[in-house]
Each structure stands twice: as C-alpha cells, then as structure tokens.
Amino acid sequence: MQVTGKELVTPKITECYPENRDTLQISDRFRAELTLKYDEEGRHKCIGCGICQMNCPNGTIKLTTKMVELPDGKKKRKLDKYLYDLGSCTFCMLCVTTCPQNALEFSNDFEQAVFTRDSLVKQLNYKPEVPDAPAPAKAAPAAKPAAPAAKPADAAAAKSDAATSTPTDK
Ligand code: SF4
Ligand code: SF4
C-alpha cells in the first residue's frame, strides 16, 4: 500500500497522445520521414547524381532525371522525380550522410499512418520547379574617365589672357 500510495501522488510521465497533440514535443533528431531541403526561394539542392539511390540498402529511393536547356543555351541534367518509399525505409540515414549536396534531411513529423502501402511512396520534389536564375548579364564597358578639371593656376592664366586680348584677337 505504501508503494501504491506513492505512485498515486507521483506526476505522470506517460504521453496522453493524441489529446496532447498541440503540446507534444518530438525530438529534432527523431527520424520520421526523408525530405528534400528547400531554400526560401523554393529551390532544392539535389542534382540528380543518384548516389543516395545507390547507397540505399533497401531500394527505398528511386529517382529519374531529365535534360533541360538553360537560359544561356547549355544543357544540364536535372532531377525529374524523386520517389521515396517510407514503408521500406530503415532510417539508417546512409542517403543523408553520403549526399554530396547536403540536399536531404529527416523530418520529425511522426504522424505517417495511412491505409494503403501505396500511400507511403512519396515524391519528394513536390514543389513546383523554380527556373534557374538567368545567366548574369555581361558587364557594360567602363565609361571613359571625365576630363580632369582645370588647375586653378591654368584657370587664372586663361582669365588674364581674356582680359588682355582685344576684340581683333578673336
Ligand atoms: S539527394 Fe543528394 S545524393 Fe541523392 S541524387 Fe540528389 S544530390 Fe545526389
Ligand atoms: S534512411 Fe537508409 S533505408 Fe531509408 S532511404 Fe535512406 S539509405 Fe534508404
């Protein structure tokens, strides 16, 4: 009875989920779902090199690429579709640690329950593609330097010449 009485007054440490959903604290390091990092302008850093796909031990990542023409006329390979199957991911993080672009991270959004396995396959480059920035314009030719201002002595001499000259001099 002594133990029971003590436990009755001890604060509860169990999580009352989902009642506490608004105040629930999930560790930032919790690995819930692979995501592509996006910057403020909606661009991700993935270059479609396929290293994450090759390093994934479960075949969880499947990506396709396409060739696009840049504003300067050059061709470049870009990511077309990045598919991630959450249902087969073991959260080993090999994809994140081997990405040369540091383009991947894990979110801690743990609410991933769905009704079908197909729903666990997610396209990570879901945001509308933002076109590449236009090539920087060529620098305009430098303007000619302005003629140096007349020195005070030269200006005084010119003034004196003007004063001593007669109308016939002109
Ligand atoms: S996420 Fe990283 S490793 Fe994977 S294809 Fe993109 S740049 Fe390459
Ligand atoms: S965390 Fe591991 S299993 Fe999951 S996608 Fe990345 S490499 Fe594959």
In a domain, 12, yes or no: no
Q: What's the CATH code of the domain at 100?
A: 3.30.70.3270
Which domain covers residue 94, as residue numbers?
26-123
Q: Domain tally for the chain?
A: 1
User: Atom 6 in ligand 1: which residue has the minimum CA distance?
Assistant: 46
Alpha carbon distance 76, 132 (integer Å): 11
Q: What is the largest CA-CA distance in the chain?
A: 130
Whether residue 13 lies inside any domain: the answer is: no
Give the number of whichever ligand sits closest to the CA of residue 56.
Answer: 2
* Ligand 2 close to Cβ of residue 91 (< 6 A): yes
Q: Which residue type occupies 144?
A: K
Q: Is residue 53 part of a domain?
A: yes
In a domain, 114, yes or no: yes
User: Has residue 162 been placed in a domain?
Assistant: no
Strands 75-85 and 121-123, by their bridges, are antiparallel
- Collapsing DSSP to helix, strand or coil, 81 comes out as strand
Looking at every residue in the chain, the average pLDDT score rounds to 81
Would residue 147 count as lying in a domain?
Answer: no
pTM of the model: 0.70
State if residue 61 touches ligand 1 by the CB under 6 angstroms criterion. no
Going by the DSSP 8-state scheme, the letter that residue 110 receives in this structure is -
Helix (H) or strand (E) holding 6: helix 2-9
Model confidence over 117-145: pLDDT tens digits?
A: 999 999 999 765 555 544 444 444 444 44
Residue 64 covered by a domain? yes
Give yes or no for a contact between 80 and 65, defined as CB atoms under 8 angstroms apart: yes
